[in-house]
Amino acid sequence: MRLLLRALALPIGVGVGVGVAACGGEDVVVQEAPKDATPRFAPAAGGTSRVDPLRNRALPTGRLTITVDDSAPGRFRYRAPASVRGGLVEIRLRNVGDAPHKAQLWRITGDHTVKEALRIRRPQPDWLRTAGGVSLTEPGSTSRTLQSLPAGRYYVAATLDQPGTVAAFTVTAARKATQPPRAPARVEARDFSFRVSALRAGRNSVDFDNTGTQPHHAFFTPMRAGSTLSQVRKFFSSSTSTGPPPIDAAGTRETVVLEGGERQVTQLDLEAGRYALICFVRGRQGGPRHLELGMINEVRVR
Ligand SMILES: [Cu+2]
């Protein structure tokens, strides 16, 4: 199970991500899923646009290009410019490494340091915020996210429990604060459920909107033919799974973690088929993974 979690680039919790570069290892805590949770299809949600904002060159955006490679097997290394102007920013992740990577941004407030942030577990203090970033990107690829970045001190890290090198940068004051426009597809994360609309096979520009109060992410993993959502839940909730996995780990796609009330437009490459959509994040105070609170849906992509 532990090996599989690594292969999936699975964020076991926000604290693990923070600790990645600092210590490189934390035990995976697995819990039983609630027995009464009923599998259900994600209902439709409104608010999408025909226009893809990631293709709209007229938008007044800054650009932040982050590069990630693997300095050794299992050792990521991020690089970022020292500073970028705030406001609406197109964040690019160039993955020149050997493994899939995300660019999870973290924002530090007050006079705290990155070193301090990397030592944090649970509870997550108010001065450390998950701050969006770029979804899981295949080796040799570049993916993009459109997001409003407030001024402040940031760093970019992974959510893998692996050692690596993070990159710190500063976002300077914005000319004006602008939220990204709506995108053609939408994934809304609530406390504790998902609403999904208009996802298609191919590259999707997705309005990923956390309308809850807790941090959430969206983890899409393909379901194997004949497998059920209840098998997927059991697979991710038990350390003693036997038999063939009900999911195809290699096809997994996922966003980064957004705080409650934040949104972004990000890219997800999906093939046609059935996916389990899951949130593995824990609350800022700790507690169960949101999967255990019912944050799992079956989504059909056509
Ligand atoms: Cu969540």
Would you say residue 16 lies in a domain?
A: yes
Would you say residue 280 lies in a domain?
A: yes
Would you say residue 55 lies in a domain?
A: no
CB atoms within 10 A of CB 285: 9
10 Å CB burial of residue 26 (0-12, 13-18, 19+) is middle
Q: What is the four-CA torsion angle of 244, 246, 251, 254, rounded to 10 degrees?
A: -130
> Model confidence over 232-245: pLDDT tens digits?
999 998 877 678 89
CA 284 to centroid of ligand 1, rounded, Å:
10
Q: Name which of 283, 262, 272 is nearest 13 in CA terms.
A: 283
Would you say residue 286 lies in a domain?
A: yes
Is the Cβ–Cβ distance between 66 and 168 less than 8 Å?
no
pLDDT at 148 (0 to 100): 94
For the entire predicted model, the pTM comes to 0.83
Is the Cβ–Cβ distance between 249 and 9 less than 8 Å?
no
Would you say residue 263 lies in a domain?
A: yes
CA 79 to centroid of ligand 1, rounded, Å:
28
pLDDT at 50 (0 to 100): 80
Judged against a pLDDT cut of 80, whether residue 8 lies above it is answered with: no
pLDDT at 10 (0 to 100): 45
Would you say residue 56 lies in a domain?
A: no
Would you say residue 54 lies in a domain?
A: no
CA 280 to centroid of ligand 1, rounded, Å:
6
CA 215 to centroid of ligand 1, rounded, Å:
6
Mean pLDDT (the chain) is 83
Residues in the chain: 302
What domain range is 117 assigned to? 2-49+61-301
Q: Give the total number of structural domains in the chain.
A: 1
The span from the CA of 136 to the CA of 117, in Å, is 22
Least confident piece of the model among 44-48, 116-120, 180-184, 205-209: 44-48
Give mean pLDDT, residues 91-120: 93
Would you say residue 28 lies in a domain?
A: yes
Give the CA radius of gyration of the chain. 18
> Model confidence over 38-80: pLDDT tens digits?
434 444 445 788 888 888 777 778 899 999 999 888 788 999 9
CA 24 to centroid of ligand 1, rounded, Å:
23
Q: What value, to the nearest 5°, has the Cα angle with vertex 122 and ends 138 and 108?
A: 65
Beta strands per DSSP E along the chain? 62-72, 75-79, 83-85, 87-95, 101-108, 128-137, 142-149, 152-157, 164-165, 167-172, 185-190, 193-197, 202-210, 219-222, 253-254, 263-270, 273-278, 282-283, 286-289, 296-301
CA 57 to centroid of ligand 1, rounded, Å:
32
pLDDT over 70, % of the chain: 83
CA 240 to centroid of ligand 1, rounded, Å:
24
Judged against a pLDDT cut of 60, whether residue 190 lies above it is answered with: yes
Judged against a pLDDT cut of 60, whether residue 21 lies above it is answered with: no
The span from the CA of 184 to the CA of 270, in Å, is 14
Give mean pLDDT, residues 141-164: 86
Q: Confidence class of residue 159 from pLDDT cuts 50, 70 and 90?
A: low
Give Cα separations from 105 to 18, 66, 102 (angstroms). 10, 11, 9
- Three-state secondary structure call for residue 245: coil
CA 72 to centroid of ligand 1, rounded, Å:
31
Q: Confidence class of residue 177 from pLDDT cuts 50, 70 and 90?
A: low
